[in-house]
């Protein structure tokens, strides 16, 4: 029954989307309200249908309806309810269904928020969104159909991949990733809509796109950090990033989207980089589809690759279509996208933004080349190669160092032109921050030159960004007599986008310092211990207390209890485990982490004697790892601050200046934010 | 819309599409070994696990590849910590027993592991029909360009690498390759020695 409902809803949705696209073309050409309403109705109806299909799948999962193929594949009566629900995205078909649902949700919100907007931009954008939805709908009734009927109906299933039901972050990382990844479709749809409607020359679409990119970017940033955290907490290697193709797939669009968030401001304020911005928006979307293709088609070897069928060929056809259509559109519109403004001076924020875009793009291409190189090498020279961490680390470190520095210089410089005096006043004092952090790092024993450079420049840039906030507070404090706290709040809410930018920068610095310290100063040891024996790593002594085993509903657990010994006294315990799931012969390591502000003690149970007489543990001390997670949180807070609607007073002003906009309420703040930056 | 520029843009898309399309025809997990067709790297390794009759060898004896000339050799690299090795263990053991008496030698080579763990593993798995050799410092594994375990190398009667199996070997693959190598050895009249 669930299978029938789900599959039926998806079949109807394909028809609705096709009709909607037809109506969209008419709406774009004729611009009559009836056709426009027809497109919007198609978007709303599609959302309802895909929601029904997704709901049917969740019901099937929860009720263990093994007649549905996807449930038979990932369901199990022994799996706890929570992990049963989130197994919606634990395998290929379910994840495509979830993707389709997120996309239909975005389409509804985009259309609803802009439904009164005049012109053909929104109808064309809605049509583009429907076009992308059509691809996923076809996947869902074809090669990735999750609703196949299984007969005879199995009585139980294997449960989701053990790695995916071993940690709570599995409930967090994938939805965030989809919200970020799929969300990049919206800016793309606006770009396509702007090109097809002829509004590409105006700045309106870029303001709209900027805000939506900010939203998706916030989700994507959170998703990448959550993915790193998951990998760190679950995989047992004590690392969080390995330059695997699937990680690169999420990182490349993040880089181009980050570049766009900055270059869009250049266009809004100075009328510059108009062609470049369209390219960034389109490129970001193409990178999301390319990334999905690379990791879902089996074309490149990746630890994360799902098992594949014919789906790769569908993705290939879709990429071909997207590339041909968007490159054709962008190139065909390029003569309308000349720069209006120009650089006044090399010593200006514009210059830093240009450099930031240059380096972010270089970074993206480096990652892209590293990811695709095995393919290119085999095509040209017929050899199999793999590109590993050393390439990526060596290539990206200098770029990261420059970017961290630019993130400090940019906010300190004014738009237009800075005088010599201003330059000195703005750029010299933050050097104190660099000196301070450099001294601390050296004292703490950091010797790696790259890591030291990252930390020192992060110190510089933290001061530069914090100083901008303090200067703003000081101005309010002196001019209006506001208390410091009030001044900070008013400053933040008065210009949310700029304040959110500073916050996001500071978060990135925390992440950079965390990565620099944890990757350059990690110490680890492996030892086989009998109960009572100890191991010491980086001055921390751990004593094996006991080895134990227990049965849980869906798995068996073997664990070791180790005590932290400080000055002969026990100061806490840590319990690394190994989980055994019936569906998998391979045990799932479940490392235990004791975090503090300064670093993590990370213990992984490598092996054990069945009689409990000894265990092999790997103990890792990694300094400042929690800074990465905290920094990620600050970045997300920055993104949220930037997106939150501006205060009402400003909103009215914005509305008054743009009577055509009409949309009120929360989303109206969009324009206000942009105006105020 | 400037159609001339648009067509240039479209043209720019094709190399990328062509590369990806070509990539779809490849299997990234298929890592070729340069060894097949070449003379197999020699080794002299001592037996740590004896195997069972009739394939048993004496623990501590040194097995030299040079001494096996004229016989087909099936060299299986494994480790007690390797999970896929568990999967293929029963198959390998049974196939080796089937070919007892033919001019073919099955040998295990322990990779990156202690003989004590290896012996315990064999006991846990219910024994192994053929003998296993210790490879201290993984020198032989390095000579053979081992990518992971399990990997199985088939050497023909002339001591050349004829075929390499990456990952667990199935009974079908083992039998097919072993039969064809035995037939080839028979046909070109290589001086074959009988198995003991």
- B66 close to A (CB below 8 A): no
Cβ-based interface (< 8 Å): residues of A facing B: 293, 297-301, 312-313, 316, 319-320, 323-324, 327-335, 372, 374-376, 378-379, 384, 585-586, 607
- B24 close to A (CB below 8 A): yes
- B31 close to A (CB below 8 A): yes
Cβ-based contacts of A327 with chain B (< 8 Å): 9-10, 12-13
In angstroms, how far is the first alpha carbon of chain B from the final one? 82
Cβ-based contacts of B148 with chain A (< 8 Å): none
Instruction: Out of A313, A334, A586, name the one closest to residue B5 (CB).
Output: A334
The pLDDT value given to residue A612: 84
The pLDDT value given to residue A305: 54
- B116 close to A (CB below 8 A): no
The pLDDT value given to residue B189: 64
Rounded Cα distance, A126 and A47, in Å: 13
Q: Compute the nearest-CA separation of B83 from chain A (Å).
A: 7
The pLDDT value given to residue A660: 40
Residue range B50-64: mean pLDDT, rounded: 91
Per DSSP bridges, beta strands A556-566 and A569-574 are antiparallel
Closest CA to B195 of B91, B57, B93, B92: B57
Rounded Cα distance, A171 and A87, in Å: 9
Q: Read off the pLDDT band of B83 (50, 70, 90).
A: confident
The pLDDT value given to residue A657: 43
As beta bridge partners, residue B44 has B64
Residues 82 to 101 of B: which have CB under 8 A from any A CB?
Answer: 83, 86
Which chain A residue is nearest to residue B120, measuring alpha carbons? A609
Which chain A residue is nearest to residue B31, measuring alpha carbons? A384
CATH topology of domain A523-626: Tick-borne Encephalitis virus Glycoprotein; domain 1 (2.60.98)
Axis crossing angle, helix A496-520 with helix A484-494, rounded to the nearest 10: 100
Of the CA atoms within 13 Å of residue A54, those in its CB half-sphere come to 23
Q: Cβ of A319 and B3 within 8 Å? A: no
| Domain positions in chain A | 1-160, 175-335, 401-521+628-636, 523-626
Cβ-based contacts of A299 with chain B (< 8 Å): 20, 23-24, 26, 28
Most confident of A355-369, B69-83, B124-138, B155-169: A355-369
Disruptive mutation site among A325, A332, A609 for chain B (greatest number of B CBs within 10 Å): A332
Q: State chain A's maximal CA–CA distance in angstroms.
A: 83
Give mean pLDDT in consecutive 10-residue pieces for chain A, a chain of 677 residues.
Answer: 94 97 94 94 98 97 94 89 91 93 97 92 96 96 92 85 81 93 96 92 89 96 95 88 91 97 91 91 95 79 61 90 92 85 84 94 95 86 80 92 95 88 91 96 94 97 94 90 89 87 96 95 92 92 93 88 92 92 77 93 90 91 95 96 70 43 41 40
Give chain B's mean pLDDT: 86
- B81 close to A (CB below 8 A): yes
Disruptive mutation site among A286, A287, A327, A387 for chain B (greatest number of B CBs within 10 Å): A327
Q: Compute the nearest-CA separation of A377 from chain B (Å).
A: 11
What are the two backbone dihedrals, phi and then psi, of residue A616, each rounded to the nearest 5 degrees? -105, 125
Interface size, chain A vs chain B, as Cβ–Cβ contacts under 8 Å:
79
The pLDDT value given to residue A209: 95
Q: Are B63 and B57 in contact (CB under 8 A)?
A: yes
Q: Cβ of B6 and A331 within 8 Å? A: yes
Rounded Cα distance, A198 and A176, in Å: 33
Of the CA atoms within 13 Å of residue B180, those in its CB half-sphere come to 9
Disruptive mutation site among B9, B87, B90 for chain A (greatest number of A CBs within 10 Å): B9
Which chain A residue is nearest to residue B30, measuring alpha carbons? A384
Q: Cβ of B10 and A378 within 8 Å? A: no
What element of type H or E holds B43?
none
Q: What is the DSSP letter of A665?
A: S
Rounded Cα distance, B140 and A434, in Å: 51
Give me the interface pTM, i.e. the ipTM: 0.79
Q: Is the peptide bond before A208 cis (omega within 30 degrees of 0)?
A: no
Disruptive mutation site among A249, A324, A334 for chain B (greatest number of B CBs within 10 Å): A324
What are the two backbone dihedrals, phi and then psi, of residue A472, each rounded to the nearest 5 degrees? -60, -45
Q: Are A50 and A107 in contact (CB under 8 A)?
A: no
Rounded Cα distance, A430 and A527, in Å: 45
Rounded Cα distance, A614 and A620, in Å: 19
The pLDDT value given to residue A652: 43
Residue B157's CB: how many other CB atoms inside 10 A?
25
Q: Are B91 and B169 in contact (CB under 8 A)?
A: yes
Closest CA to A510 of A675, A617, A636, A422: A636
Give every CB contact of residue A8 below 8 A, 6+ residues apart in sequence: none
Give every CB contact of residue A249 below 8 A, 6+ residues apart in sequence: A287, A288, A290, A291, A292, A294, A295, A371
pLDDT at B113 exceeding the cut of 90: no
What are the two backbone dihedrals, phi and then psi, of residue B4, each rounded to the nearest 5 degrees? -65, -45
Q: Cβ of B19 and A313 within 8 Å? A: no
pTM: 0.82
Q: Compute the nearest-CA separation of B9 from chain A (Å).
A: 5
Cβ-based contacts of A321 with chain B (< 8 Å): none
Cβ-based contacts of A372 with chain B (< 8 Å): 19
C-alpha of A212 from chain center: 14
Q: Are A618 and A606 in contact (CB under 8 A)?
A: yes
Radius of gyration, alpha carbons of chain A: 27
Give every CB contact of residue A299 below 8 A, 6+ residues apart in sequence: A293, A312, A375, B20, B23, B24, B26, B28
Q: Compute the nearest-CA separation of B2 from chain A (Å).
A: 4
Return the higher-pLDDT residue of A657 and B137.
Answer: B137
Q: Compute the nearest-CA separation of B118 from chain A (Å).
A: 14
Q: State chain B's maximal CA–CA distance in angstroms.
A: 82
Q: Cβ of A332 and B17 within 8 Å? A: no
In angstroms, how far is the first alpha carbon of chain A from the final one? 53
Rounded Cα distance, A99 and A175, in Å: 9
pLDDT at B196 exceeding the cut of 80: no
Q: Which domains does chain B have, with CATH numbers?
A: 44-187 (3.40.30.10)
Rounded Cα distance, B88 and A24, in Å: 58
Per DSSP bridges, beta strands B104-110 and B72-78 are parallel
Instruction: Write down the H helix ranges in B109-155.
Output: 115-124, 139-143
Instruction: Out of A298, A316, A332, name the one closest to residue B2 (CB).
Output: A332
Rounded Cα distance, A33 and A44, in Å: 16
Q: Are A55 and A147 in contact (CB under 8 A)?
A: no
Report in angstroms the alpha-carbon separations of B76 from A258, A629, B105, B116, B122: 50, 45, 11, 18, 14
Which chain B residue is nearest to residue A323, measuring alpha carbons? B13
What are the two backbone dihedrals, phi and then psi, of residue A8, each rounded to the nearest 5 degrees? -60, -45
- B2 close to A (CB below 8 A): yes
Q: Compute the nearest-CA separation of B81 from chain A (Å).
A: 9
Residue A72's CB: how many other CB atoms inside 10 A?
21
Instruction: Out of B1, B6, B23, name the one closest to residue A299 (CB).
Output: B23
Closest CA to A147 of A46, A45, A61: A61
Instruction: Write down the H helix ranges in B64-145.
Output: 83-98, 115-124, 139-143
Closest CA to A257 of A227, A287, A232, A234: A287
Cβ-based contacts of A334 with chain B (< 8 Å): 2, 5
Q: Are B50 and B88 in contact (CB under 8 A)?
A: no
């Amino acid at each position: 029954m669930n299978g029938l409902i789900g599959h039926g809803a998806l079949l109807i949705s394909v028809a609705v989307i096709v009709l909607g696209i037809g109506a969209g073309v008419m709406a774009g050409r004729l611009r009559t309200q009836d056709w426009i309403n027809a497109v919007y109705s198609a978007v709303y109806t599609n959302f309802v249908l895909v929601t029904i299909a997704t709901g049917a799948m969740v019901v099937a999962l929860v009720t263990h309806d093994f007649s549905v193929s996807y449930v038979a594949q990932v369901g199990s009566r022994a799996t706890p309810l929570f992990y049963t629900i989130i197994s919606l995205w634990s395998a290929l078909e379910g994840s495509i269904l979830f993707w389709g649902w997120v996309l239909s949700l975005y389409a509804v919100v985009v259309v609803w928020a802009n439904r009164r907007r005049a012109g053909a931009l929104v109808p064309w954008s809605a049509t583009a969104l429907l076009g992308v939805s059509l691809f996923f709908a076809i996947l869902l009734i074809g090669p990735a159909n999750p609703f196949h009927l299984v007969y005879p109906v199995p009585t139980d299933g294997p449960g989701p991949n053990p790695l995916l039901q071993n940690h709570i972050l599995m409930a967090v990382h994938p939805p965030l990733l989809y919200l970020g990844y799929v969300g990049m479709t919206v800016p793309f749809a606006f770009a396509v809509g702007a090109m097809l409607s002829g509004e590409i020359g105006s700045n309106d679409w870029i303001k709209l796109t900027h805000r939506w990119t900010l939203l998706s970017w916030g989700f994507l940033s959170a998703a990448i950090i959550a993915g790193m955290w998951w990998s760190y907490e679950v995989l047992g290697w004590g690392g969080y990033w390995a330059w695997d193709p699937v990680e690169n797939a999420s990182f490349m669009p993040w880089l181009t989207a980050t570049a766009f968030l900055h270059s869009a401001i250049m266009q809004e304020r100075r009328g510059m980089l108009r062609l470049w911005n369209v390219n960034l928006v389109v490129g970001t979307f193409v990178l999301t589809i390319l990334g999905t293709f690379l990791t879902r088609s089996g074309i490149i070897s990746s630890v994360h690759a799902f098992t594949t069928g014919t789906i790769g060929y569908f993705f290939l056809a879709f990429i071909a279509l997207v590339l041909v259509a968007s490159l054709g559109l962008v190139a065909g519109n390029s003569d309308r996208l000349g720069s209006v403004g120009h650089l006044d001076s090399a010593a200006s924020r514009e210059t830093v933004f240009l450099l930031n875009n240059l380096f972010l793009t270089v970074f993206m291409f480096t990652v892209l080349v590293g990811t695709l190189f095995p393919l290119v090498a085999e095509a040209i020279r017929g050899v199999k190669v793999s590109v590993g961490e050393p390439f990526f680390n060596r290539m990206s470190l200098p770029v990261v160092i420059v970017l961290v520095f630019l993130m400090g210089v940019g906010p300190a410089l004014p738009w237009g032109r800075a005088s010599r005096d201003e330059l000195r006043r703005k750029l010299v004092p933050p050097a104190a921050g660099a000196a301070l952090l450099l001294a601390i790092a050296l004292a703490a024993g950091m010797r790696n030159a790259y890591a030291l450079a990252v930390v020192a420049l992060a110190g510089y840039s933290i001061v530069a960004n914090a100083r901008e906030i303090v200067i703003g507070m000081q101005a309010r404090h002196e001019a209006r007599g506001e208390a410091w706290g009030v001044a900070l709040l008013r400053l933040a809410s008065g210009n949310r986008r700029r304040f959110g930018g500073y916050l996001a920068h500071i978060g990135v610095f925390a992440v950079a310092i965390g990565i620099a310290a944890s990757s350059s100063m990690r110490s680890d040891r492996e030892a086989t211990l009998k109960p009572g024996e100890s191991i010491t790593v980086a001055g921390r002594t751990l004593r094996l207390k006991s080895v134990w085993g227990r049965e849980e509903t869906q798995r068996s657990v073997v664990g070791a209890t180790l005590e932290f010994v400080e000055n002969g006294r026990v100061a806490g315990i840590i319990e690394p485990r190994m989980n055994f799931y019936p569906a998998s012969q391979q045990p799932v390591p479940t490392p235990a982490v004791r975090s503090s502000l300064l670093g993590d003690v990370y213990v992984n149970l490598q092996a054990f004697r069945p009689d409990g007489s000894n265990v092999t543990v790997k103990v890792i001390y990694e300094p400042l790892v929690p800074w990465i997670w905290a920094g990620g949180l600050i970045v997300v807070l920055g993104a949220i601050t930037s997106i939150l609607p501006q205060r009402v007073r400003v909103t009215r002003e914005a509305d008054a200046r743009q009577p055509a906009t009409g949309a009120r309420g929360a989303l109206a703040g969009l324009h206000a934010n942009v105006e105020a930056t | 819309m400037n159609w001339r520029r648009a067509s240039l843009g479209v043209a720019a898309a094709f190399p990328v599409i062509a590369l990806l399309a070509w990539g779809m025809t490849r299997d990234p997990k298929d890592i070729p070994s340069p060894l097949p067709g070449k003379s197999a790297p020699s080794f002299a390794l001592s037996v740590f696990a004896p195997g069972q009759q009739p394939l048993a060898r004496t623990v501590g004896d040194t097995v030299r590849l040079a001494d096996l000339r004229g016989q087909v050799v099936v060299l299986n690299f494994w480790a007690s910590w390797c999970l896929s090795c568990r999967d293929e263990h029963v198959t390998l053991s049974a196939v080796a027993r089937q070919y007892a008496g033919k001019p073919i030698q099955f040998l295990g080579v322990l990779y990156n592991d202690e003989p004590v763990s290896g012996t315990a593993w064999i006991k846990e798995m219910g024994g192994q029909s053929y003998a296993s050799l210790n490879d201290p410092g993984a020198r032989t594994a390095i000579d053979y360009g081992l990518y992971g375990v399990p990997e199985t190398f088939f050497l023909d009667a002339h001591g050349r690498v004829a075929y390499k199996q990456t990952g667990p070997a199935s009974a079908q693959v083992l039998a097919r390759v072993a039969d064809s190598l035995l037939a080839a050895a028979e046909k070109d009249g290589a001086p074959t020695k009988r198995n003991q």
